[in-house]
Amino acid sequence: MSDHKVMLALGSNLGNRLDILKRAVARLAGAGIHIEAKSRVWETKPWGVTDQPLFLNMCAAVRTELEPLELLCLLKKTEAELGRSAGMRWGPREIDIDIIFFDSLSLKDPKLTVPHPRMHERGFVLKPLMEIAPEMIHPLFEKSVAELYDELPSSERDGMVWISEI
């Protein structure tokens, strides 16, 4: 088995958002995921569907022996255990955990696309990711996380407020 370096994005805008993020990180660590680094937690505007509560977002750099689809199953199970229910795309949710990068893998599977297909458009992903992996290179765009953040329109960089550390 090989050890994989993975970047995860976590977000919550329902319930006790900070507690849910803390519980998600703890559950992942308890499931054999080694958490190497965590960003700060940022309060951000909703993306896509804007008429909903503000989100708390963060990123984590982790190591795992799980393969991509195995990790996805673990993340979906963790989301369900923390109260996530089916809802509208980009709508409110208790917890959302996305795989942003998986090593330098480029994967298109009906269940999972890596790198995350819209991460380069989202300040709420790139800002916390910059704290823990600014030099990480997007395998398709061949640009660093910091470069992708710098290319964001100001509307995607504005309005994020540092809330806490976990």
| Given the residues 17, 23, 27, 84, the one annotated as active site | 84
The structure tokens 């979906």 sit at: 76
Give the bridge partners for 43, in sequence order. 56, 161
CA separation (Å) from 163 to 1, 112, 145? 38, 30, 22
Q: Catalytic site residue 51?
A: no
| Given the residues 40, 96, 103, 157, the one annotated as active site | 96
| Given the residues 93, 103, 118, 158, the one annotated as active site | 93
| Given the residues 17, 23, 98, 122, the one annotated as active site | 98
| Helix segments in the chain, DSSP class H | 17-30, 68-81, 123-132, 145-150, 154-157
Q: Catalytic site residue 103?
A: no
Q: Catalytic site residue 150?
A: no
Consecutive H or E run containing 89: none
All residues at 6 or more sequence positions from 96 whose CB lies less than 8 Å from its CB, including other chains: 9, 10, 11, 12, 79, 84
Q: Catalytic site residue 93?
A: yes
Active site residues per annotation: 84, 93, 96, 98
